[in-house]
Amino acid sequence: MANATLSSPLRGLCPAPFYDASKFGFGGSVEGRFCATIPTLGDCCLPCPATDYLYPEDFKKWYRAAEALNLVGLVCMAFLLLSFICLPAEQTRRHYLSYCLIIAAMFLALGFVIPFGARPEQCYDEITPNDMYTSLTCAFSGAFIIAGGISIAVWIFIRALSMHLQICWDVMPGKRFFYWAQGLGWTIAAAFFTATITVTGVSFRFGDVCHVNASHSLADFWGPLLAIAGAATLIQIGTFAYCIKVYLQSMWNDDKTETQSSMGLPSYTTSIKTRSPRVIYRRVRKVVYLQWRGITIVVFILVDVVFFSVIFIWLNSITSHATDKIKDAMPFLLCLIKNPSSHEQCTPLAEALFVNKSTVIAILIMLSLAGLQVFILLVRASMFTGWIDLIRCKVGSKREFVSLDAHKYAVGPHQFELEQVQPSIATYPVPQSADVSPISPKEKGDIDPYRRSVTGTPEYFSKEAAREYTTPTLSFSTPRAPSQAVTRAEWDPRATHARGGLGFHPPLPHEDEYQAENKI
């Protein structure tokens, strides 16, 4: 749109490169137009996108770089999220506050990544930028930025509150804190997201990314965002002040850490109020050592949130009152009229009226670095080791354990025919009383059990060597009729050395001698 011909009928009475607002309708983001009322000429507007006339040509490279950084941050946070889900807790040190912060940062990164891949059209017509109603890409981009910005602020506040309770009050947040945090955290973020996207809306303001509109944004988005960030900042400052106080008290009262009892021995109590400064300092130092990542994340994100909130509020104030100061803008307007084709000569005058390029670039880069900051402070070296072990376990072949000396005794399948068993059997003589043995013949004329058949199988495994099974007389494996019951045989207790009936106990051989020798 910016390269339209200088003699377009849509310009009306306005000099090039301006267009006459009366020649256009009300589609797109009408409030995003840069228009000014010039006497005898009417409402003259800058061509869309206005950033091409407010900032030099290299500004496009910077917001493209910001989008690329968000893509890298999104990949890194996806790695963190997958590590928390797939790897053991010992290797990731995962926590629900880290989960929620990563998801919020991913929302913010998606707001920059979507237009990076889609390359949407920023302008609805020659002077009007697109908004969420005229561009689907703008709607998704702005929605993710709003959701990510407000969610990050909420979860940074909850994280700061959790650390404050642990460090200052020695209270470990439990399940009740978890449920309250999940309920209030996502509910507050959803409420402000709904109010902002429905009442304020988003449109293309800087590059391919849609940002919150100026009207009603202070009450719906920037005000609550600053309030939550300010509360988190106060809590964090209070935590730092308490740590400094404990450190100074431990230094001043180092010699009075223990109270002496009447017996000259140190006496200790478990009350928090009566703890010595040295004991409190050790506890605080341990908690801070364990929570230094969370403390650093809170500080970094709070700086980012407060910085871009203040800059955007200042930018909204400047753009909304720009038409009220035509005299201040006349040098810039006259420069554009004199140089309609080479408007880069007028960018220094534009930066003097609006937010300069360095500040806008700083906002975009700080928003893009939020995901990378979260990744750097939450990633651990054990995660990479865990992924290597997991990939080796899943991809590597499962091998059985085999002794290094097993190859010495390796034989083919055809040799597993009890060849190695024969010497061991021949070593021990067969008992003469073994009448029914699977490897001994009944009579001398039977088949030799050690003689091989044609197939190489011992003869005692053949059908000819099979023994006929005789069911024992007292077998009850199958039901019998009462008439077939066998008469009870007489039982001699002496044969089994068991107790006899009616308490009779026949003496064992040499029992009398054993009792006589061991009689007390």
Residue 204 near residue 49, CB atoms below 8 Å: yes
- Rounded Cα distance between 113 and 118, Å, is 9
Across the range 437-454, mean pLDDT stands at 46
Residue 207 near residue 54, CB atoms below 8 Å: no
DSSP string, 415-440: GTTTTTHHHHHHHSPPPTT-SSBTTB
Residue spans of alpha helices (H) in 461-501: 493-496
Q: In this predicted structure, which of 176-185, 392-401, 447-456 has the lowest mean pLDDT? A: 447-456
Backbone phi, then psi, for 148, in 5-degree steps? -65, -40
Tokens of 146: 């709003």
- Rounded Cα distance between 334 and 344, Å, is 13
- Rounded Cα distance between 369 and 305, Å, is 12
Q: In the predicted model, is pLDDT for residue 187 greater than 50?
A: yes
Direct distance between the N- and C-terminal alpha carbons of the chain, in angstroms, rounded to an integer: 121
Q: In the predicted model, is pLDDT for residue 158 greater than 70?
A: yes
pLDDT at 497: 54
Q: In the predicted model, is pLDDT for residue 424 greater than 60?
A: no
Q: Whats the size of the chain, residue-wise?
A: 520
pLDDT class of 207 with cuts at 50, 70, 90: confident
Q: Which residue has the higher pLDDT, 393 or 520?
A: 393
pLDDT at 472: 63
Residue 116 near residue 191, CB atoms below 8 Å: no
Q: In this predicted structure, which of 34-48, 131-145, 394-408, 492-506 has the lowest mean pLDDT? A: 492-506
Q: How many CB atoms neighbour CB 167 within 10 A?
A: 22
pLDDT class of 265 with cuts at 50, 70, 90: very low
Q: List Cα–Cα distances, 376 to 77, 290, 428, in angstroms.
A: 10, 16, 74
Residue 250 near residue 278, CB atoms below 8 Å: yes
Backbone phi, then psi, for 55, in 5-degree steps? -130, 155
Query: Could you tell me which of 146, 153, 304 has the C-alpha nearest to residue 232?
Result: 153
Contacts of 87 (CB under 8 A, 6+ apart): 383, 386, 387, 390
> What is the tens place of the pLDDT at every residue in 313-351?
888 888 777 666 777 888 888 898 888 888 888 888 888
pLDDT at 38: 77
Across the range 41-58, mean pLDDT stands at 86
Q: Which amino acid is at 316?
A: N
Give whichever of 257-266, 289-298, 389-398, 480-489 has the largest mean pLDDT.
Answer: 289-298
Q: In the predicted model, is pLDDT for residue 121 greater than 60?
A: yes
Across the range 414-436, mean pLDDT stands at 45
- Mean of the per-residue pLDDT values for the chain? 78
pLDDT at 330: 84
Query: Could you tell me which of 86, 80, 198 has the C-alpha nearest to residue 133?
Result: 198
Q: What is the DSSP letter of 502?
A: G
pLDDT class of 420 with cuts at 50, 70, 90: very low
Q: List Cα–Cα distances, 116 to 64, 67, 439, in angstroms.
A: 7, 6, 84
Give whichever of 4-13, 27-36, 130-139, 456-465 has the largest mean pLDDT.
Answer: 130-139
How much of the chain, in percent, has pLDDT values that exceed 90?
A: 39
Q: Which residue has the higher pLDDT, 491 or 152?
A: 152
By DSSP bridging, strand 35-38 and strand 42-45 are antiparallel
Q: List Cα–Cα distances, 440 to 437, 448, 468, 470, in angstroms.
A: 5, 8, 14, 17
pLDDT class of 42 with cuts at 50, 70, 90: confident
How much of the chain, in percent, has pLDDT values that exceed 70?
A: 70
Rounded to the nearest 10 degrees, how much is the dihedral formed by the CA atoms of 393, 399, 401, 407?
-150
- Rounded Cα distance between 183 and 448, Å, is 85
Contacts of 467 (CB under 8 A, 6+ apart): 436, 438, 442
Contacts of 197 (CB under 8 A, 6+ apart): 132, 142, 143, 146
Across the range 372-389, mean pLDDT stands at 93
Q: In this predicted structure, which of 4-18, 112-126, 348-362 has the lowest mean pLDDT? A: 4-18
Burial environment of residue 179 by CB neighbours within 10 A (0 to 12, 13 to 18, 19 or more): exposed
> What is the tens place of the pLDDT at every residue in 383-409?
999 999 999 988 865 544 445 454 444
pLDDT at 511: 43
> What is the tens place of the pLDDT at every residue in 71-109?
999 999 999 999 999 999 999 999 999 999 999 999 999
pLDDT at 164: 95
The domains located in the chain, with CATH, are: 51-259+273-392 (1.20.1070.10)
pLDDT at 324: 67
Q: Which residue has the higher pLDDT, 177 or 413?
A: 177
pLDDT class of 1 with cuts at 50, 70, 90: very low
